[in-house]
Amino acid sequence: MIELHDLTKRYGDTLAVDGLSFQVPRGVVTGFLGPNGAGKSTTMRMILDLDRPTAGRVTLDGRRYGQLSEPLTYIGALLEAKAVHPGRTARDHLLWMAQSNRLPRHRVDEVLELVGLSAVARKRARGFSLGMSQRLGIASALLGDPEILMFDEPVNGLDPEGIVWIRTLMKGMAAEGRTVFVSSHLMSEMALTADHLVVIGRGRLLADLPMADFIKQNSRSAVRVRTPQPETLLDALHRAGVGAEPGPDGSWEVPDGDLAFLGELAAEHRITLHELSPQQASLEEAFMQMTAESVEYRIGSGEGGQDRPAVGPAGTARTGPAQAAPAGAWGSDWQARKQKEN
Amino acid sequence: MAAFPAILQSEWTKLRSVRSTLWTLGLAFVVTLGLGALISVLANNNFEDFAPEGSPFDATGTSFAGIILGEIAMVVFGVLAIGNEYSSGMIRVSLAAVPQRATLLAGKFAVIGAVAFAVALVTVFVTFFTGQALLGVHSTSLGEPHVLRAVFGAAGYLTMICLFSAGVTAMLHNQTLALGVLVPFFFLLSPILSAVPKVKTVAHYFPDYAGQRMLLVYQESGQPYGPGQGFLICLVWTLAALGGGVLVLRSRDA
């Protein structure tokens, strides 16, 4: 099991990873989510002992990565797809890896078959497309038949077919009882594959919970009602014991409202309706809200947020989710409202 | 701990599976032999111009005239064998497979050294016999004093220069930078400085000048030390570069 204890990494003035502690649960797909520059890749490199933590530590079943003998049989990782010598064939690339960990030679052909690269096994990596390189990287992660798999942004730059392939592969690996730890900056992608969710923003842990809980907490639906007779409508709703909140452009929204009930209610009270529509807050929106808040907090807290280089969440916040979400879109401020309620 | 024989096998696969790296070894053989043969033919045909006054003619050294070019190919081989891990980002894959960094690099150096020595040995013997055949009546043989030592010295010299370059590349962890530093150093800077008065007393302790003492059959006048010390000085440089490479890899984020 991968356990992070207060893991911290500082590059000069930049705190890339800031006191991160969590465990990757066994036998499921865990999505490691955060905006670009949140520290996901740095964390993964520290798990593999490639980068040395400034403070804190990572343990793998109680051991450091550097203490593992034949680590490929324990954890298989894909960090960068293009980290292959362009002049070496796919087969030779896997062969040296297999030899270094005393894996049998036939594993090379098995994993090439598994990722569908058998036909180009003797081709040099120079001519590989991103999709083929990604498959080769996944083949090298599977080489030692490890119980833990770790992928850094595996769907980046892939065509839809490749994305579906990776998604199916990860689910299949978890179904075999393996632990899959996969980073992404796309909530929508994780919603389809992950069973557990770890969200970080600017190197800090924002959430660590089962995917089902995240969906339950964040997928809110409502019915938007628009009428030229709002007073009559609110009155009727009040008498029916249904609460409503003001929506954009003079509309009203009924959380978890029932379309049929509201339509009948309006007809009963002869209320003219200009709109009666279901509204759904996307998980993507909830995720962006979560990470954007961490950014605002950091900048507002005066911890030198302003003079930091415009990378990562800060940059994302200025140009990205917070502003990109249309002002007044449904659910855009519900997190803030929820906090007020609490 | 990852098993050392497994690392050696894996590093050998890495080395033999990239064509461009192997070509530099072929080039080392071809230029050392070709230039040596050419100079030997010229020396035989114009012996009066080649024979130094007051000291004996060095038939061994004449046939090894191509080593100044062959060593550059060996330097490039040493740089590429280490540097291509950094240029492709593959070093992270290598370290994920073998996290014991010192062991990994030691295995790499061992394979590079063994391959370089094997190629150098074949190169110098073929070059020596070819050169002697072309020198005709002016030739020497392995049975003459110091000749066999000079031939082995040539192979040892090429191997150490190659390993020195590999170590420097590991210290710089950048292939292009390493080539940019090492090739001008061995090809221009060191030979020029060795000829400049006063500066040359320092330049005489550079690895290439020291290593080249191993190739000499006759003691040159004004030479600061003999082949044995030359070997030791070159060896110290080589071990320092290899050790430095290990220290840098161990301490750095990959």
pLDDT digits (tens, 9 = 90+) for A239-279: 998 888 888 888 999 988 889 999 999 999 999 999 999 88
Instruction: Give me the sheet containing A245-246, strands edge to edge.
Output: A245-246, A252-255, A221-226, A275-280
Percent of the residues in chain A that have a pLDDT greater than 70, as a whole number? 85
How far apart, in Å, do the first and last CA atoms of chain A sit? 35
Note whether B13 contacts A: Cβ–Cβ < 8 A.
yes
Residue A330: predicted pLDDT: 47
Mutate to test the interface with A, among B15, B17, B84, B173 (most CBs of A within 10 A): B17
A278: Cβ contacts below 8 Å, ≥ 6 apart: A221, A222, A223, A224, A259
CA distance B238 to B244: 10
**Cβ contacts of A69 on chain B, cutoff 8 Å:** 1-3
Using the predicted structure, report yes or no on whether residue A117 has a pLDDT greater than 70. Answer: yes
Are residues B10 and A97, on separate chains, in Cβ contact within 8 Å? yes
Q: Which two tokens stand for residue A82?
A: 């293009």
Compare all CA atoms of chain A with the CA of B93 and give the residue at the minimum distance.
Answer: A83
Nearest to B13 among A68, A79, A92 (CB): A92
For residue A314, give how far its alpha carbon lies from the nearest alpha carbon of chain B (Å).
25
A149-to-A57, A139, A181 alpha-carbon distances in Å: 19, 11, 6
In terms of CA atoms, which chain B residue is nearest residue A48?
B96
Q: What is the pLDDT of residues A179-224, one digit of tens each?
A: 999 999 888 888 889 999 999 998 999 999 999 888 888 777 889 9
Measured in angstroms, the CA of A190 and the nearest CA of chain B are apart by: 26
Tokens of A15: 């705190």
Chain A stretch 33-72, residues whose beta carbon is closer than 8 A to a beta carbon of chain B = 45, 48-52, 65-66, 68-72
Kindly state the percentage of chain B with pLDDT values over 70: 99
Among chain A residues, CA nearest to B91? A83
At residue A25, the 3 state secondary structure works out as coil
CA distance A146 to chain B (A): 12
B7/A96 Cβ within 8 A: no
